Amino acid sequence: MFFATQNQPQLRRHIYANAGRTLERFMEDALRATSNKPCAYTQDETAFTLTLDVPGITKEQLSIAIEGALVRISSREGATRRYGAAYELPQDIDAAMSEAKLENGVLTLKLVKRLPVSNATELTIQ
């Protein structure tokens, strides 16, 4: 009989098992791809520049928080769309000197680098 062999059912189970995992991986990759936020990053001697796509969100609906080298961008309560992202930069940011501009669904952040302050105290020799 054709179906009485041992190898064929094991082969079928093996093929179906891999197909299920492939679908699982495909779904996980698709979810990860939608959660990644498009972002362009450049820097010069004085500042970092982040450019992000935030379509459908107005400047009143957007919140930007800077804490040290961490930049958090999120939509406020009641916004038409939900957005949330956090970026850790290699150097602390001077929030007072930094700028944010939103035009046509593109948020551009110019984040000025904080100059390192020396806390060294010189002692007088007696």
pLDDT band with cut points at 50, 70 and 90 for residue 13? very low
pLDDT of residue 14: 45
pLDDT of residue 98: 96
Residues 86, 111: Cα–Cα separation, whole Å: 14
Residues 104, 74: Cα–Cα separation, whole Å: 17
Residues 33, 83: Cα–Cα separation, whole Å: 15
Task: Out of 6-20, 47-61, 68-82, 110-124, pick the least confident.
Answer: 6-20
CB 110 within 8 A of CB 43: no
Q: What is the pLDDT of residues 74-114, one digit of tens each?
A: 999 988 888 888 999 999 999 999 999 999 999 999 999 99
Q: What is the pLDDT of residues 17-55, one digit of tens each?
A: 455 556 666 666 665 554 556 788 899 999 999 999 988
pLDDT band with cut points at 50, 70 and 90 for residue 11? very low
Type of residue numbered 96: A
pLDDT of residue 126: 87
Strands 62-67 and 99-103: unpaired
